[in-house]
Amino acid sequence: MAFALGPKALAAGYRLSAYESIGSTSTEAMAWATLGDPGKLWVVANEQTAGHGRRGRGWQTPAGNLAASLLLAQPGHGAASATLGFAAGLALESAIRAAAPSVAVSVGLDEASAGGDRLALKWPNDVLLNGAKIAGILLEAVTRPGAESVVVIGIGVNVLHCPKEVPYPVTSLVESGADLSAETLFTALAEAWIDQESLWNQGRGFAAIRDRWLERAAGLGAPIAVKIGADVFRGTFETIDDEGRLIVRAGDGSSRAISAGEVHFGAAATAAL
Ligand code: BTN
């Protein structure tokens, strides 16, 4: 089966550039951006040889996994683009539920905070299955001459394979009992994106996205440790604010809004990091 866009994505004017193997779909999408591509372009592959993740880490996409990058031009205004990752996380969660109903039972707050049973979203942009990372999302932005902002949303999903030697628990959809291909999941993702993008509405609808995201959030109300550079901030995961920042309440009752950091739950939240 080949990668394809579904009817909603096609009707909304999305285009597709698909590869068997590529260095990085996000690097390729950025190259299209600098050449003046108008956006609404998916770059997709089921193998990457030079994928990258957050914090300068590599991202492994062996053949059979999904690497998809969405190029958007003028997606929103100013800080709004930073909240796009939450809409992308919701689209991916919804696509997994549609394409792999056997593993992807939506969670309520209790299940998520109890340690991540089934499918959950982890701040800022991970998708967890049974508490282990199944997908990561990376937002990259550039400003083109003329001050037009361009964002690439890079989405990597462990469909068939788990990455090796990574410093956190990982799983794959197939390991968790799903029977699906990267191609099937991609079509579902591109369709689900249309709904979430319309709800996000250039950032004006972030309140609704935020509510949905919080309903699916891993670790809400539970102990959390956030590594910010060399520092570790511990407390309780209270909520995310209207800019998508993580709100952590410390033991002394004070709360802190965090824009970037590495989140740990459970035993790791209380152990030395
Ligand atoms: C993370 O570190 O969790 C984010 C990982 C993002 C990986 C995806 S795979 C598709 C796209 N191409 C890349 O090189 N990176 C992103």
- Tell me, using a 6 A CB cutoff, whether residue 54 lines ligand 1: yes
For residue 135, give both structure tokens. Answer: 């997908």
* pLDDT value of position 113: 41
| Cα(209) to centroid(ligand 1), Å | 22
* pLDDT value of position 11: 98
Omega prior to 163 cis, within 30 of 0: no
User: In the chain, which stretches have pLDDT less than 50?
Assistant: 106-116
Domains identified in the chain and CATH numbers: 7-215 (3.30.930.10), 223-270 (2.30.30.100)
Residue 221 backbone class (left: φ over 0; alpha: ψ -120 to 50; beta: rest): left
| DSSP character at residue 39 | S
The sign of the torsion formed by the CA atoms of 72, 166, 174, 24 equals positive
Q: Per-residue pLDDT tens for 49-64? A: 999 999 889 999 999 9
For residue 36, give both structure tokens. Answer: 């003046």
Pocket test of ligand 1: the residue of 122, 155, 159 to mutate, having most ligand atoms within 8 Å of its CB, is: 155
Task: Count how many Cα atoms sit within 13 Å of the Cα of residue 92 in the half-sphere of its side chain.
Answer: 34
Q: Per-residue pLDDT tens for 127-170? A: 999 889 999 999 999 888 776 789 999 999 999 999 888 888 99
Q: pTM for this one?
A: 0.93
The sign of the torsion formed by the CA atoms of 248, 250, 253, 256 equals negative
Bridge partners (DSSP) of residue 155 are 68, 137
Q: How far apart are CA 44 and CA 16, in angstroms?
A: 8
